[in-house]
Amino acid sequence: MLNEPARPSRVSHGGQEAPALAEATAAERAASSHGSLVDAHAGRYAARARGMVASEIRALFAVAARPEIVSLAGGMPYITALPLDAVGDMAGQLVAQHGAVALQYGSGQGDPALREGICEVMALEGIHAHPDDVVVTVGSQQALDLITRIFVDPGDVILAEGPSYVGALGTFASYQARVVHVPMDEDGLIPEALDECIARLASQSQRVKFLYTVPSFHNPAGVTLSAERRAKVLRICQRAGLLVVEDNPYGLLGFDSEPQRALRADDPHGVVYLGSFSKTIAPGLRVGWAVAPAGIRDKLVLAAEAAVLCHSSLAQLVIGEYLASQPWREQIKVFRELYRERRDTMLETLSAVMPEGCRWTRPAGGFYVWLRLPPGLDSKSMLPRAISSRVAYVPGTGFYGDGGGADHLRLSYCFPEPARIREGVRRLAEVVGAETEICATFGGMPRTGALGGASPADLTGPAGGAIRQ
């Protein structure tokens, strides 16, 4: 059977006879051996592609997507709570009646009627913007990409909360920015720390391009910047002449109070606001936006055209029609109640079962709880144990650009039903218990970060699709 004639080979070009597989001709084969990297283009990639490699963490998340695993990792909105029949009818009619527009190219800035609708949504957070100030984007993720593209040269500094949103860190890394984290507490970003950080970087002649912040129901920290601190943060940035990029996908998903006033509401010239329909309507439509001062807005439009020419006309019209004809404010209330119940379930179960030494935040909205492990535990190195125990979370290292966060992990309660949340947290408690025992066994011995942490790049992209938001 092994006597087929030899064929030219992409790997070796050896051309040896197949029957001589193991015996003889070894010298001939060695002489004819050519190295192969499998990827014929290896060596030509840009420096910014250096970190784009397969990772253990992504392999583990491929397992986490299976229904046997309770995933407390993904930040997927609970889309089934939408009136899917009504949305479906609406989309069908749009194509039937306005197909010539809905299926045609559109403008780089976005559909004008949708931009009016967006202004109406932002008014709930105290923002009074003109539709001309709005640039529609492919989710707010693209807005992040565009704003980084127009501001950041390799080596420039971006300030961000520590921890910060993994998808933003991935974008910043792809433009070779250096992220400097500013600490938070239960009231969000600490203004004094921000002030000190800006001064320190200025003394080092570092080029700081903007402050990236998620002020409400932070991803992953779950905390919200207090009203008093919002004013302080704005004052500090104004004084330093530092642009603020306010990312606010969860602002309308507060459980206990009216929406917080956005930073943009009090400083239209110093803040670029990023918004999204991914959490309030549906992420599959990929519609987000940026609101920016005129000079920045013009560059964003040009950058958007260079990136995608224009956005999906159909998706924009669906969102526009949804805002015009569906009870969207009531639907947001439905989401809020649903997520509040799930948050309560998660917090109650955490209190009931987590071992001593764990601490976690109590989010007043949004999707996430940020949990600190007992001393000595490493959330990345614990993840395989969790997956074997059929529960998934996101290791904290993904939310830092500097390798920090190993002692934390992110839990999300937005997607699993309450009974699954309870089961998942119980499994996690057992995992933490077992890991604590292992660490105690090897404790008291010097520990180093020999294994490294999950980097933001591990958690973005296809495998991270379910966990990045």
Binding footprint of other proteins on the chain (CB under 8 A): 1-2, 4-7, 9-12, 14, 16-18, 21-24, 26-27, 29-30, 33-39, 41-43, 45, 53-56, 58-60, 62-63, 66, 68-69, 378, 381-385, 387-388, 435, 437-439, 441-442, 444-451, 463
The minimum distance between CB 364 and other proteins, in angstroms, equals 34
Q: What are phi and psi of 265, to 5 degrees?
A: -60, -30
d(CA 132, CA 119): 10
The minimum distance between CB 30 and other proteins, in angstroms, equals 5
Contact 321, 396 (CB under 8 A): no
Question: Which C-beta is closer to other proteins: that of 19 or that of 155?
Answer: 19
Question: Which C-beta is closer to other proteins: that of 325 or that of 388?
Answer: 388
The token duo for 166 is 């993994």
The minimum distance between CB 33 and other proteins, in angstroms, equals 5
Question: Which C-beta is closer to other proteins: that of 157 or that of 373?
Answer: 373
Question: Which C-beta is closer to other proteins: that of 268 or that of 465?
Answer: 465
The minimum distance between CB 411 and other proteins, in angstroms, equals 18
The minimum distance between CB 334 and other proteins, in angstroms, equals 32
The residue behind tokens 């309870």 is: 422
Question: Which C-beta is closer to other proteins: that of 3 or that of 204?
Answer: 3
CA 417 vs CA 279, 362, 424: distances in Å: 17, 19, 10
The residue behind tokens 């990023």 is: 274
CB atoms inside a 10 Å sphere around CB 409 = 32
Which residue type is seen at 95?
Answer: V
The minimum distance between CB 406 and other proteins, in angstroms, equals 11
Question: Which C-beta is closer to other proteins: that of 42 or that of 96?
Answer: 42
The minimum distance between CB 59 and other proteins, in angstroms, equals 5
Question: Which C-beta is closer to other proteins: that of 17 or that of 298?
Answer: 17
The minimum distance between CB 39 and other proteins, in angstroms, equals 3
d(CA 71, CA 421): 9
d(CA 398, CA 83): 34
DSSP string, 217-266: S-TTT-----HHHHHHHHHHHHHHT-EEEEE-TTTT-BSSSSPPPPHHHH
Identify the burial level of 96 via C-beta atoms within 10 angstroms of its C-beta, where 0-12 means exposed, 13-18 middle and 19 or more buried: exposed
Question: Which C-beta is closer to other proteins: that of 345 or that of 455?
Answer: 455
The token duo for 112 is 């004008």
Contact 205, 157 (CB under 8 A): no
Identify the burial level of 14 via C-beta atoms within 10 angstroms of its C-beta, where 0-12 means exposed, 13-18 middle and 19 or more buried: middle
The minimum distance between CB 285 and other proteins, in angstroms, equals 28
d(CA 244, CA 194): 12
Question: Which C-beta is closer to other proteins: that of 147 or that of 463?
Answer: 463
